[in-house]
Amino acid sequence: MTLLSLNIDWILLIEKLALIAIVVFASLGIALYTTFGERKVAAILQDRPGPNRAGPFGLLQPLADGVKMFTKEDIIPSSASKWLFILGPGLAMTASLMTCAVIPWGGTIELFGRTISLQIADINIGILYIFAVVSLGVYGIMIGGWASNNKFSLMAALRGASQAISYELAMGLSLIAVLMLSGSLSLGDIVKQQQAGWWNIVYQPLGFLIFFICALAECNRTPFDLPEAENELNFGYHQEYSSMKLGFYLFAEYINMIMSSAVMASLYFGGYDIPFVNDAELQTHLGNWVALFQVGTLLIKIVFFIFLFMWIRWTIPRFRYDQLMNLGWKSMIPLALVNMLVTGALVLLKMNNWHF
Amino acid sequence: MEALTSRAKAVDRKPMTFLERLYLWNILKGMIITFSHIFKKKPTIQYPEVKRPFSPVFRGLHVLNRDEEGRERCTACGLCAVACPAEAITMEAAERLPGEENLYREEKYAAKYEINMLRCIFCGLCEEACPKDAIYLSETFAPANFNRKGFVYGKDNLLIPNPTTQPEATAKAKGLN
C-alpha cells in the first residue's frame, strides 16, 4: 500500500518501460545486422560478394553467427580473476546500451490521449550523461584485460584506457563549442533548436570533424583499434574470451558504433529532423506518422554514419601508438581549443549585438 | 647514378607538415579509391553452382576407357605402371574366358586395377604409355576424403560407364553434357 500511496504515475512508468524495451531490442537487432553489414561492406570494398549462403542474400548470417557463438565452449582461464572476467563483457555491453536512454529517437506521438515523447529520459544534462557512460565503457576493456591475467590483454587494456582518455579530451572540447551555440546540455533541446534553424554542422564543421575522429577512437574502430591489435597483441583484451563473452565484447563495439552515430546525428545533423520539411507543420497534417518518419530519418542518418565508420575501417590501416598519441594531443586538442575559442568569441560578439 | 626505372623515387624524409600530420587528405584519397571498388566487377565464381572451366590440357583424375561396343580396352600389359614415376599404379591380370568377349576387348584383361591418388602426380605419362588408349586423364580432381584408403581408386571408381547400356552416364563422365 505504501507504494501506491507514493502517487507514482504508473502509466508513465509502463510507457517508459515499453520505450526502453523497444529501444534496447531495436538497437540489439540493428547491431546484429550491423555485423552483417560490416562483412558485406568489407566484401564489396574488396571486390568480393561477402556472406551469401545463409538464407536469401545471406540475411540469416547474423543468426548463424549467434548460434555459433552460443554453442562454443565457454572457457574461463584457471589463472583469471573469475568474477572480474565475467564482469568485463557485461560492463562493456551495459555501458554501450545505457547511452540510448538520452538520445531523442523521434518527436512526440499521441496515443490514448497521452503525448509520448520518443526519448526515454530527457534529462537536462544529457550530454554529460553520455560522456559519463562512454567513459564507463572503458572499464569493460580495462577489467576484461586485467582479469584475463595475460600480458597481451593487460597491454591492450592499458592502451584502451590511455586512448580513451586522450580522445575524450578533444571530444569534450569540440562539444563545448556546440554547447555554447545551443546554450543547453539537453539533447532534446539541441535537436529542437536545429529543427528550427540550421543544422549544427553548418556552424561547426571543424568541431564535427574532431568529434567524428574522437568517436572513432572511443569506439575502438580502425584506425584507432589499437586495444585489439591482432598483429602485435593477439586480439588484445578479448584474447582469453570465448563463446558469448567474446560475443558480448564484439557486440558492444557495434552498439557503441550505433550509439555514437546517433549522438553525432543528434548533435550535428539535426537528429530526427526531416531535412527541407517543417516538421511542426507536418505534424498538424499527418499526426503520428510524422514521428515514424522522424525515427526513419534518424535511422538513415545513423546508417550513413555506420557506413562511414566501415568505409574508413576497410580503407586505412591502424595507427602506430606514437602516431595515435601525437594525433590526439598535438593535433586534435589544439584544433579543438582553437575551434572553441573562435566559437566562443563569435557567440559573445553576437550576444553584444554585432551583425555579421 | 642513373636510375634503374623511370618510376624510381628518392626517399623523402622531410618532417611532415601539420596538414600531413592530420592524415585527412590522404585518408580521403584512400577512401575515394575504396569507394570506386564498389562499382567494380566481382571476380568471384560461386563454386558449387558455377564451376570454372578447366583448360583442355588439364590432367585430372584417371578414367579407364571402353571401346564403342562397351568392352574394356585395358589389356593389363603393365606399361602404365612401368611408366608411372610415382609408382601409383598396380594391377593384376586375368585371362578372358570364353563367353566374356562382350566384356573385354583383348584376351587378357585387368582383374584388379588400382591407382593411389595420393601418390599420383598427375603427370600423364600413363596416358602416353598406354598402347590400347585405355587410360585417360579427365578434367576432374580427387574429392576430399577422411582416410587414406579412400584415395586408392579401384576399377569401380576408374572405369567409365558402359556406353551401350548407360549412354547418359558415359556422356556425363566424358563431360559432354
When pLDDT is averaged across residues A302-311 and rounded to a whole number, the result is 91
Any idea how long chain B is?
177
Its ipTM equals: 0.74
Evaluate whether residue A246 is within a structural domain. yes
Q: How confident is the model at residue A2 (pLDDT cuts 50, 70, 90)?
A: low
Q: What is the three-class DSSP state of A27?
A: helix
Instruction: Answer whether A311 touches B (CB < 8 Å).
Output: yes
Separation in Å, CA of A22 to nearest CA in chain B = 34
Q: How confident is the model at residue A5 (pLDDT cuts 50, 70, 90)?
A: low
Contact call for residues A337 and A171 (beta carbons, < 8 A): no
Asked whether the beta carbons of residue B22 and residue A327 sit closer than 8 angstroms, the reply is yes
Evaluate whether residue A112 is within a structural domain. yes
Residue A189 is part of which domain span? 74-351
* Chain A residue nearest residue B18, CA to CA: A331
Evaluate whether residue A111 is within a structural domain. yes
Give me the pLDDT at residue A1, please: 45
CA angle A216, A218, A221 (to 5 degrees): 45
CA neighbours closer than 13 Å in the CB half-sphere of residue A217: 29
pLDDT cut 90: percent of chain B above it: 19
CB-CB neighbors (< 8 A) of A44 in chain B = 37-38
Separation in Å, CA of A324 to nearest CA in chain B = 11
Strands B152-153 and B108-116: antiparallel
Write out the three cell numbers for A295.
525515427
Separation in Å, CA of A316 to nearest CA in chain B = 7
**Which residues have a Cβ under 8 Å from the Cβ of A95 and sit 6 or more positions away?**
A133, A134, A136, A137, A139, A140, A252
Q: What is the pLDDT of residues B40-80, one digit of tens each?
A: 888 888 888 888 888 888 888 888 888 888 888 888 899 99
Asked whether the beta carbons of residue A326 and residue B44 sit closer than 8 angstroms, the reply is no
Evaluate whether residue A306 is within a structural domain. yes
Alpha carbon distance A9, B14 (integer Å): 68
Q: What is the pLDDT of residues A9-36, one digit of tens each?
A: 777 788 888 888 888 888 888 888 898 9
Evaluate whether residue A21 is within a structural domain. no
CB-CB neighbors (< 8 A) of B46 in chain A = 49
CA angle B28, B31, B36 (to 5 degrees): 130
pTM: 0.78
Q: Of A215-219, A221-225, B99-103, give the lowest mean pLDDT range.
A: A221-225
Separation in Å, CA of A167 to nearest CA in chain B = 14
Walk me through the domains of chain B, giving residue ranges and CATH numbers: 62-173 (3.30.70.3270)
Give how many domains chain A has, as a whole number: 1
Q: What is the CA radius of gyration of chain A?
A: 22
Instruction: Answer whether A330 touches B (CB < 8 Å).
Output: yes
Task: Kindly report the number of other CB atoms within 10 A of residue A15's CB atom.
Answer: 17
Asked whether the CA dihedral B118, B123, B126, B132 is positive or negative, the reply is positive
Contact call for residues A134 and A96 (beta carbons, < 8 A): no
Evaluate whether residue A17 is within a structural domain. no
Beta-carbon pairs below 8 A across chains A and B:
39
Evaluate whether residue A184 is within a structural domain. yes
Alpha carbon distance A281, A287 (integer Å): 10
Write out the three cell numbers for A283.
505534424
Instruction: Answer whether A327 touches B (CB < 8 Å).
Output: yes
B20, B23, B26: best to mutate for the A interface, most A CBs within 10 A? B23
Evaluate whether residue A256 is within a structural domain. yes
Q: How confident is the model at residue A3 (pLDDT cuts 50, 70, 90)?
A: low
Asked whether the beta carbons of residue A44 and residue B38 sit closer than 8 angstroms, the reply is yes
Instruction: Answer whether A173 touches B (CB < 8 Å).
Output: no
Alpha carbon distance A179, A173 (integer Å): 10
B18, B32, B34, B45: best to mutate for the A interface, most A CBs within 10 A? B34
Give me the pLDDT at residue B85, please: 93
Instruction: Answer whether A320 touches B (CB < 8 Å).
Output: no
**Which residues have a Cβ under 8 Å from the Cβ of B154 and sit 6 or more positions away?**
B112, B113, B114
Asked whether the beta carbons of residue A48 and residue B35 sit closer than 8 angstroms, the reply is no
Q: What is the pLDDT of residues A68-92, one digit of tens each?
A: 888 988 888 888 888 888 888 888 8
What is the residue-averaged pLDDT of chain B? 85
Contact call for residues B94 and B72 (beta carbons, < 8 A): no
Tell me the residues of B at the A interface, defined by beta carbons under 8 Å apart: 18, 21-24, 27, 30-31, 33-35, 37-38, 40-44, 46
Per-residue pLDDT for B22 more than 70?
no
Instruction: Answer whether A314 touches B (CB < 8 Å).
Output: yes
Asked whether the beta carbons of residue A48 and residue B23 sit closer than 8 angstroms, the reply is no
Asked whether the beta carbons of residue A315 and residue B30 sit closer than 8 angstroms, the reply is yes
Separation in Å, CA of A312 to nearest CA in chain B = 7
Q: Of A229-233, A252-256, A261-265, B27-31, give the lowest mean pLDDT range.
A: A229-233
Contact call for residues B46 and A51 (beta carbons, < 8 A): no
When pLDDT is averaged across residues A227-251 and rounded to a whole number, the result is 80
Q: What is the three-class DSSP state of B4?
A: coil
When pLDDT is averaged across residues A106-133 and rounded to a whole number, the result is 80
CA distances from A148 to A137, A142, A237 (A): 17, 10, 8
pLDDT cut 90: percent of chain A above it: 6
When pLDDT is averaged across residues A329-337 and rounded to a whole number, the result is 89
Q: Tell me which residue in B22, B27, B44 faces A48 most closely, judged by beta carbons.
A: B44
For cell 555459433, what's the residue? A68
Residue A332 gets which letter from DSSP? Answer: I
Asked whether the beta carbons of residue B34 and residue A311 sit closer than 8 angstroms, the reply is yes
What are the backbone dihedrals phi and psi of residue A67, each rounded to the nearest 5 degrees, phi first? -60, -40
CB-CB neighbors (< 8 A) of A311 in chain B = 31, 34-35
CB-CB neighbors (< 8 A) of A48 in chain B = 42, 44
Q: What is the pLDDT of residues B9-19, one digit of tens each?
A: 888 888 877 77
What is the residue-averaged pLDDT of chain A? 84
CB-CB neighbors (< 8 A) of A46 in chain B = 37
Q: What is the pLDDT of residues B134-145, one digit of tens each?
A: 998 888 877 888
When pLDDT is averaged across residues A38-45 and rounded to a whole number, the result is 90
Instruction: Answer whether A322 touches B (CB < 8 Å).
Output: no
Asked whether the beta carbons of residue B21 and residue A45 sit closer than 8 angstroms, the reply is no
Q: What is the pLDDT of residues A166-190, one digit of tens each?
A: 888 898 899 888 888 888 888 888 8
When pLDDT is averaged across residues A303-312 and rounded to a whole number, the result is 91
CB-CB neighbors (< 8 A) of B21 in chain A = 326-327, 330-331
